[in-house]
Every structure is written in structure tokens, then in C-alpha cells.
Structure 1
Amino acid sequence: MLHPQARTLLDFIEQRGVPPTHTLTPDDARRFYRERRFFTQPDAPPVAIVRELQAPGPGGAIPLRLYRPQAGDAPLPALVYFHGGGWTIGDLDTHDTLCRQLANASGCIVVAVDYRMGPEHRFPAAVDDSLAALHWVHAQAPALGIDASRIAVGGDSAGGNLAAVAAIHARDHGGPPLAFQLLIYPATDMRCGMPSHQTNGQGYLLTSETIRYFHDHYIDDPADDHDWRASPLLHEDLSRLPPAFLLTAGYDPLRDEGLAYAQRLSEAGNRATSICFERQIHGFITMGRVIDEANAAVDLCAAQLRSALSA
């Protein structure tokens, strides 16, 4: 029951001979990811304010981009957003449209984080940068027009992984206090052993080979697969975490580990809502130009943010 628009996109990619990500060098894969967004993503909507910022990090300055949906000085809730791309590709530009959409539809400031990636900077560099950026945003909240008591973390795929890790770390290390987690088809288990990796590992854009490509550019030591900072599903205690909304896709290799994370959050006593877009593929939420359900998914995520962060 693959959505016809997703099927059309996959057929087009095959007919055009688009090279799979795992056949490209990291530099070429990054360039290709940036360029192809113009085909699948909607036009970037205007927002009231866009600011380029930098946060100090363990490896140097971390580029950030702040989106404010409305003018004025009143403090607004905020989402600190980590982009997807297998900890190897993606940047502030590849997720610019999505961040604008979320800001406008939720009424929240969105702060996107351009963390270090592999293979140049392997695990846990992305984690370290994500945590440093989150702490900086919280510390600078008044200057940024952010209500420090209403900060959420979120991300898609690898970014969902980093958001989940940031929430656990904040709980265990005295903050910053977080009000919500927005986890869009998150990677939660680096072992990649759940059934959806087999049933959806070929033919649906994100393949088993591409997952291994991303994994091997990020993880240097196989033992790190069992580190909760790489695989948050493996943390022994998932209690006392912020409310979470998890969005998954039916034809995604990561579907089952996202569902498993939602289940463990609920079993640990947290408020966690999980919605699966059964007919969709990994990465669809940024494809609103060619997949209508992407726009519905953005609206759903924004509504969850608005509700969770309302005063």
C-alpha cells in the first residue's frame, strides 16, 4: 500500500539513474543532497526574522540559524532542531524549508543546529555539538527572544537520534529543562536488527547499503553501537523524560526502532504519542512538493509543538 506519489518518486529516481547515496563520496553526497531539495521540497515560506548565529562548541563555533515566525519582542517557545542525513550529509540549507514551515505553523522559534559530521568528525562529535548548542540556546534565551521554560528538542532521522540523546542527557545532567521532544522517524538503535530493516531495506530510497554507509562514516568502533549516546533505545532508564511525539513511516527501515522507542517511553511512564504514516518512505516530510502527505505531516508536528509548548 505504498502511496502512489511515493511510488512515482521512486520510479522517477530509478528511471533517471540517480546514483544511490552509498555510491558517492561524502562530499558528493552532501552536494547532491543540497541540490536535489529543489525538486522535492516546497518553496521556502517567508518568516518574520531569520538570524545566522554561532554557539561555542568543543570543536569550534557551531553554526545555528534562528527562525522567528512573528515580529515583536515577546518571548516565544522554541524548538532546537537537528537535521537528518545519517550524521554524514545535510546542513542548515537542506532543512531550511522544514524549519520555516514548523516555525510558522507552530508559532515557535526554531533554532537549527549545524553539528559536526562524519567521516571527518566521528561519534560522539555530533552529540557533543548538539548538547553544546542546546545549552547555549538555553543560556541565551532572553537575548534570543525565547522563553527558557518552553524549549523543545527535535529532529528527523539522525537528527531525531540526537534530539532523543539530548533529552536523556539533559535529564541526567541538570538540564536544561525541556518541555517536549519531536522525533521524526528517529534512528534509535545502531545495531539495525529490527524486522523493518529487512522488509524495507531495499526499494524505498533509504536502503540497507546506505544505512551501512552512514553508520560507518559516523561510528568508528563497533562497540559504540551499544553506547546509549548512539543508540538511545538501549539506555536502561527512559523514565522522567519530556513528553514526546514520534512520527514514523510504514516503508522506512527505521520504522520499528522508532515504534520501539515510543513504546519504551510509554512503558517508562512518559507521555509519548506515536503516529505512523503507513504509506510513506523515509525522508518524506521534506518532500511536500511531490508528496502531499508530507504537508499533512508537517502540520501534525507543528500542532503537537504548539499544544505542548502553549503557555
Structure 2
Amino acid sequence: MSDSETKSAWDPAKEVEPHILAKLDPDFVRYWTKVMSKGAPPGHLSIEQVRANPDKFASPCALDTKGYEGTVDTEFASEDGTKIPVRVYYPDKSKHGPGPYPVHLNFHGGGFVLGDLSSESTLCLSMSDGAGVAVIDVNYRHCPEAVFGKCFQDAWAALNWARNEAASLNLKRNSISIGGISAGGHISIVLQHMARDAGLPLKIMLASVPPTTDGLAYKYYTDSPFASFHEFYRSPVLSWERVKWFGNLTMPADQQAELRNMWPDWWLAPIRAPNFRGLCPAFIRTGECDSLRDEGEAYGMKLVAGGNDVKIKRYLGSPHNFMGLKAMKQKEQYDLDSIAALKEAHGA
């Protein structure tokens, strides 16, 4: 048997622990088997290799929507003057009228390292068309090219830009929501607190499969206090090996002390935020078979304890990035849930 044939013989029963395989949605297992049989990239690839082949490592829901009808590419200046690209998705005028429109800020996932304006384009299109909102997809700065923490400054600048330029962008200044997946969920959670502290109203915050601790700084997966991090450390999509790959690029051991002195502690671990009262409504979503499940739900329970309006939903059989996988029925339900939450929050 040739090397290529050996690589193609990926068997989930051998590569995934039995208790995890039993919980995973069969649709996902079939999809992941096909992906791995084509030769998935190993976790030890350098960032240079990844940057040199962006299409190879693109999100499964990525679509280049540049130039699509109803989309506008523009940029704004972050706190230090850096230009941050955004893509605005406007809803269909024939369905939703001429505007001004409610607006939803989307922050993509990718471990604070990966992602661009194509990564979650299909999700942005779905939210915009389904809920009748303008979606601003923000391509915040990534590590290691930018120091970890700049992404939060970019998110704050994006929120203020959307408010200040609402008239020229045909948006409703006082009908803004925020959200993101994975790293984007972490960013959205931090922004939720920043907006509350500044007295800026938000309609809702949607955080999906978010990391809410400083897990990127863990030395061992057992450093996590959450059971799901231990149970699913070898799960597909977001294994401990992959978490460490992201961690080495965002919070390398020799820079952790400096990073912790640079930013508020709760920016790195929003579950340790000092005040959980008076926050905007939130919809926290997790995957049953995701290592980040428990910390996301624990953050949601802290919101509940703070007296906030909170909905928490766990998608059964789902791994970390299920919302980007067309092969999964849970992805369709996820899209419907996003649309329903935005319509209710914005009164659409």
C-alpha cells in the first residue's frame, strides 16, 4: 500500500475515543471521515505555512462574497489608527424595505489567529436576509502579527464606528446587536461588558461555543477546571493539540506575564469579569461534544446570577464548529435560532 493510500484509510473508530464517537452526530462523523481521508493538515504546521495557503485552511462555510449585491466593503480606524476592514451585508430591500436597518456586528472565529471576511460569509448572509438586519462583519487583527488583545480594541472601535456612522451607513444607531463564534464569541462577551460600562445600549449578544477562560495559556489540558475540557481533549475539530497551536501564537509562555500586565484580566478570561449586572440580553450556544462547552455554559450561568435576560442552548451531538457544516442538521437549526433571536431583539 502506498503512503497516499495509507493516509486515506482514516478510521474514526480508531482515531476518536469510543465514548466521544458514540455522542457525535453520525452526519458529522461521515463528514469528518471524508475530510480526514483527504489528508487534513497536521497540528504542527507553522503559521507561515498556513498564511501561504489561506484557501487550504478556510472555514467550511467560507464564501467570497466581495462584490455581491447588497454588500459593501469599507474600513474604519481602530484606537491606534490601524485600518480595520469590514463587509456590510444589507438585507433585501424588496423584502425589508429601504432602511435604515437594525445592525448586527459579527466577529468571526479562528482562535484569534485565523479568519477573514469570507470565513462566515454564508452565516452573515443568512442573518441579514432572514432577520432583516444589516450585518457588519469585522476583520479584526489577528495574532501573531498583532499582539493578543488588539482584537478587543478593534471590536470596541467597530461598535463606536457603527454608531457614529449610522446615518451614512443607513443603519439604526440605537438598534445594535453583537455576536461571534468561538474566538468571536469571546470578543463579543468582552464587548458586552465594555458597552455596559460605557452606557451604550445593545439589543442582544450572541456568543457561540465561546472560550471564556484563558485556556490558551494552559500548559496542560488538565489545567482547566471544566469537565468538558478533559472529556473532549482528543475530540475532532478542537483537540488539545489544536488549542495549544493557537495558544503558542496568541499567548506564548515567554509573553504571558507581559500580556497580563497589558490588558484587564477579564479581557483574557471574561468569566472573571468583576461585574455581571446590567448587561444586555444574551444567547449563549454550545456544542455537546466541544471541549469549550462547560466554560461557555458557566459564563451563561454567571449572567443568570447577575439578573440578566439569558438563554442558553446546547446542541446535542455537535462538535466545536458545527454551525459551519452543511452536512449537519444542527447547522440548519442554528441558523434558524440566530434569525429568531435577532428578529425578537430588534423587533423585526
TM-score, normalising length: structure 2: 0.82
Shift of 1:37: 4.8
Distance 1:184 1:19 in 2: 25
Shift of 1:79: 0.6
Q: Is the 8 A contact 1:33 1:94 kept in 2?
A: no
Equivalent residue of 2:118, what SS? Answer: coil
Select which of 290, 310, 314 maps to 1:252.
290
Distance 2:123 2:50 in 1: 20
Give a deviation string over 1:35-73, Cα, whole Å, max 9, x none.
Answer: 4558x4387899751000101112511000000012253
Q: Which runs of 5+ in 2 are unaligned?
A: 1-22, 219-223
Distance 1:52 1:119, change over 3 A: same
Match in the other structure for 1:157 = 182
Distance 2:339 2:50 in 1: 29
Shift of 1:293: 1.7
Corresponding position: 1:196 with 2:196: no
Distance 1:48 1:238 in 2: 41
Select which of 68, 81, 84 maps to 2:90.
68
Select which of 41, 51, 58 maps to 2:61.
41
Bigger Rg, which one: 2
TM-score, normalising length: structure 1: 0.92
Distance 1:291 1:27, change over 3 A: farther
Match in the other structure for 2:130 = 105
Quick one: which amino acid aligns to residue 181 of structure 1? M
Match in the other structure for 2:142 = 117
Shift of 1:32: 5.4
Distance 1:301 1:33, change over 3 A: farther
Give a deviation string over 1:71-98, Cα, whole Å, max 9, x none.
Answer: 2532111110100000000111111111
Percent of pairs with identical residues: 29
Match in the other structure for 1:213 = 245
Equivalent residue of 1:167, what SS? Answer: helix
Select which of 192, 195, 210 maps to 1:186.
210
Corresponding position: 1:308 with 2:345: yes
Corresponding position: 1:23 with 2:44: yes
Corresponding position: 1:269 with 2:307: yes
Match in the other structure for 1:13 = 35
Distance 1:34 1:183 in 2: 26
Match in the other structure for 1:278 = 316
Question: How large is the RMSD of aligned CA atoms in angstroms?
Answer: 2.2
Distance 2:52 2:27 in 1: 25
Distance 2:207 2:41 in 1: 28
Distance 1:217 1:29 in 2: 12
Equivalent residue of 1:163, what SS? Answer: helix
Match in the other structure for 2:172 = 147
Distance 2:248 2:63 in 1: 33
Shift of 1:217: 1.3
Select which of 114, 119, 127 maps to 1:89.
114
Distance 2:186 2:128 in 1: 21
Q: Is the 8 A contact 1:164 1:181 kept in 2?
A: yes
Equivalent residue of 2:268, what SS? Answer: coil
Match in the other structure for 2:76 = 55
Q: Is the 8 A contact 1:34 1:94 kept in 2?
A: no
Distance 2:57 2:27 in 1: 17
Match in the other structure for 2:11 = none
Match in the other structure for 1:228 = 266
| Equivalent residues, number | 307
Equivalent residue of 1:164, what SS? Answer: helix
Distance 1:89 1:155 in 2: 14
Q: Is the 8 A contact 2:62 2:120 kept in 1?
A: no
Distance 1:196 1:131 in 2: 31
Distance 2:345 2:55 in 1: 31
Corresponding position: 1:134 with 2:166: no
Corresponding position: 1:298 with 2:335: yes
Quick one: which amino acid aligns to residue 265 of structure 1? L
Q: Is the 8 A contact 1:161 1:188 kept in 2?
A: yes
Distance 1:77 1:172, change over 3 A: same
